[in-house]
Amino acid sequence: MRSKLALMLIGRKLGIKSSPAAKRRILFNILLISVVVAALVFAQLFVVSMSRGIANKYALLGNGHLQVHEKAGTPIPDLKQIVDVQLVAQTYSLLYSPSKNLMVRLKGVERSYFNSQRLGELTFLDTPLDTKGSSLPQILLSKSIASKLEVGQGDKVALMMISNNSLRPQLCIVGNLYDSGYKELDENLIFCDFSLMDKLFSSKADTYYELLVADNEADEVRSILEREGLSVTSWEEENYAVASNLETSRQAVLGVMIVVAILCGYFISELSRELIEDDKRRIALLKLLGSGNSLIRGVYFSTVMLVTLTSIVLGTASGILLGLNLGSMLSFLAAKSIPALAFYLLDFQVMVPFLDIAIILFVLILVSSLSVLWSLRRVRNIPLLSSTRFD
Amino acid sequence: MTKSNKILSLKGVSKSFPATARGGEPIDILDSIDLELHTATSIAITGKSGSGKSTLLQISAGLLSSEKGEVLFDGRRLDTLSDTQLSRIRSTSMGFIFQSSLLLDDFTALENVAVPAMIMGIGEKPAREKALHLLESVGLSDRLGHKSDQLSGGERQRVAIARALVNEPLILFADEPTGSLDERNAALIEDMLFALVAEKQVALMLITHNAPFASRCDEVYRLHNRKVEVIR
């Protein structure tokens, strides 16, 4: 029975009942392909998770998933997809310390703004300052801004305000420092009480509602709100350059991964070429004994694809496991404050991009199948006399 | 099989090897060879080294094509058959024994003999049973599970004989089957080969330098100056 014979031949090629050298060789190839697949999966997981982490920072701390640009008091429909609604005021201002100054984005928020979801995206570096007896309003600076202004908790800074077409400074006290983990966002974002914004900037501040919505529900919520006649924007529109860069980066990295997968697929065909080259005598002998080319091609195709699929399973599992354990390594790197990593987000939740991984693996399997089939054409050209000339 | 029991017929077969890319003259090997082989008969082809004995065997078995003439195997012209048809004929109707036993290294003796039967489409169990029977008949019942490198030269050649006969071929092509064996083992293989050929009623085309071995065949030919001469 030819299928049983094919299984016997595949088993021997894969090292079952075979010599230790043959086993080592197959294991080496499995290891090599697994390492490449693990690296591809890990890299994609890292990039997608980091992109999503950055997007989350912008959505949760910067602008909310959706913004409703309506006057304070405008009723927001009570939809189950809306997780949180906050009235926010924001403006840009110069912030002075005794030695430096900086243009900042000042957000006035209610105390309830820092809910558990937002608190998950930042770390307070100190306990809140007790300012009983002080009439100065408190502001919340990022660690990055504090460092640039050379100030710390309890220090005084001055906000330059435009009031009745004139400029005047407002002294504030640094109530606490936060760190979102993403320097790009932290570089200019500071928080204060909504009431302070209202008092200091009144009509100069832009007042709007920030909405947090459940995962992947933003488009639906937006269309409902717009049907209600509300003016709505998304965080991507508010941060167009950031959002489009993240998407472009993700696609570019996926493209690079696909190219690497194609090269890896080509390498796999080299494995089949190598096996055939080594087995010329065996193939010639099988042909001499009456075996057709299709049986031999089937044996070598199955052998190489079994090696490939085993490697893919091992590599994917390793890449995902490595990725899921990335958190502790990232925390370690973040704690080290390595300058080269300053502009990278090192504090994000790892997610497995199954679709991206499936695309990469599909390309790898497709390219390796085609290139292996292509390389197996040479089976036809192996002369039967190779065996008789062996001596 | 045709009514005349003619298994193999060569008519006006000529073969030359072309000049190499580096130059040189084409080499004429065979010139208008006519030969016939009938069922249950044996012929020996002798001749000096380089006289074209192996080339004649390979053309007869369809392993090599000729420039002129035709080779009829069991009434079918081999040069008109596709690769698949030739594979099928090799599988069902031809057995090969070479100077080197050419076994599959990582297969046991039993598996090596069973492989051609499995290629022909016989199930694993009956193929192993046939292989077992043949290995017993060549005196290797105690070597069934041994691989090629665990067998002596004579034992490997006996496995090769069993393998050549497992599909009950019409013809056996043997190219110097005792060429690499010592005298004692060579004699054993010769006896075994002729006994099995007689028992299985198989036609035999034997290529050999060895005159006494050749003389045990029904007909003996000598290749000389690209022509076949009848010795006996």
Tell me the mean pLDDT per 10 residues along chain B, length 232. 73 86 77 92 92 91 91 92 92 92 90 95 94 92 93 92 93 90 86 88 92 93 92 85
Tokens of A248: 């472009």
DSSP A128: P
Which residue in the set B96, B100, B115 is minimally distant from A390, CB to CB?
A: B100
ipTM value, please give it.
0.90
CB B33 within 8 A of CB B56: yes
pLDDT at A390: 39
Interface membership of B116 toward A (CB under 8 Å):
yes
Residue B3 pLDDT: 43
Identify the burial level of A269 via C-beta atoms within 10 angstroms of its C-beta, where 0-12 means exposed, 13-18 middle and 19 or more buried.
buried
Q: Does A390 touch chain B (CB under 8 A)?
A: yes
Please tell me if residue A385 touches chain B, with a CB cutoff of 8 Å: yes
Chain A contact present for B87, CB below 8 A = yes
H or E element in which residue B44 lies: strand B42-47
pLDDT of residue A124: 85
Q: Which residues pair with B108 in a beta bridge?
A: B147
Q: Name the region of A283 (left: φ>0; alpha: ψ -120 to 50; beta: rest).
A: alpha
Residues of A (19-38) whose Cβ lies below 8 Å from B:
19, 22
Q: Identify the three-state secondary structure at position A391.
A: coil
How many Cβ atoms from other residues are within 10 Å of residue A212's Cβ?
18
For residue A163, pLDDT over 70 is answered with: no
Any B CB within 8 A of A13 CB: no
Looking at the predicted structure, is the pLDDT value of residue A391 above 60? no
In whole numbers, what is the pLDDT of chain A averaged over residues?
87
The pLDDT tens digits for B7-30 are 999 999 999 887 776 667 788 889
Chain B: closest CA distance from residue A29 (Å): 20
**Contact between B106 and A18 using a beta-carbon 8 Å cutoff:** yes
- A110-123 pLDDT, tens per residue? 989 999 989 988 88
Q: Which of A4, A19, A390 lies nearest to residue B106, judging by beta carbons?
A: A19
Distance CA A104, CA A93 (A): 6
What is the residue extent of each domain of chain A? 2-55+244-388, 70-230
What type of residue is A317?
A: A
Contact A290 B111 (CB under 8 A): no
Chain-centroid distance of CA B91 in Å reads 13
Residue A234: the pLDDT is 92
Q: What is d(CA A213, CA A66) in angstroms, rounded to the nearest whole number?
A: 8
Size of interface A-B (CB pairs under 8 A): 81
Q: Say if A18 is an interface residue toward chain B (CB within 8 Å).
A: yes
Q: Determine the pLDDT at residue A342.
A: 67
Our CA-based measurement puts residue A1 at a distance from the nearest CA of chain B, in whole angstroms, of: 4
Q: Which of residues 265-324 of A touch B (CB under 8 A)?
A: 281-282, 285-293, 295
Domains defined along chain B, listed by start: 6-17+26-104+170-230 (3.40.50.300)
